[in-house]
Amino acid sequence: MTTTTARDVAGSVLDPELPVLSIDDLGILRDVTEDDQGRVHVQITPTYSGCPAMETIRTDLVEALTTAGYQHVSVEFVLSPAWTTDWISDEGRRKLEEYGVAPPAPAGADGPVALTLSVRCPHCGSVDTRESSRFGSTACKALWVCQSCREPFDHFKTL
């Protein structure tokens, strides 16, 4: 029962770069365990090897769990199995689009990186969009432009 609670608290921590998504939505929360001494151990996995948000997420996890009454919290980064955008929940995809970020296409299992042929504009819904830069404001996003409403937008890269 208590493990569920610790997991709920951990899962509700927000991603600092996409503050509408919880780390549970993003699929980077691996495991939360609590031992009989009340010590909580959290495992998270990075989206990209160099993702600079990981340290912030670690701090936020410790703070959230400490505030919720867990005195001994440890956070571990695990690399394997590698995160994929397929682990973003349906709820997470919906929130991304509402936030103005086009969600990633399905990656599929271990295949080559799929080239995205068309991305729907999160502002006006048009599919008349083009890639402006394969690399965007953060490691996980590419920059796109809508040809219909002329607005630029981020696209969460399929990984």
Q: Contact residues for other proteins (CB under 8 A)?
A: 46, 48-52, 78-84, 112-113, 132-139, 143, 157, 159
Minimum distance between the CB of residue 62 and other proteins, rounded to whole angstroms?
A: 18
Structure tokens at 12: 């509700």
Q: Which CB sits closer to other proteins, 97 or 131?
A: 131
Compute the least distance from the CB of residue 115 to other proteins, in Å. Answer: 8
Q: Which is nearer to other proteins, 29 or 64 (CB)?
A: 29
Kind of pairing between the strands at 29-34 and 39-44: antiparallel
The neighbouring-strand residues paired with 156 are 141
- Choice between 9 and 44, CB closer to other proteins: 44
The CB-of-145 to other proteins minimum distance in angstroms stands at 11
Q: How far is the CB of 77 from other proteins (least distance, A)?
A: 8
Q: Which of residues 35 and 135 has its CB atom nearest to other proteins in the complex?
A: 135
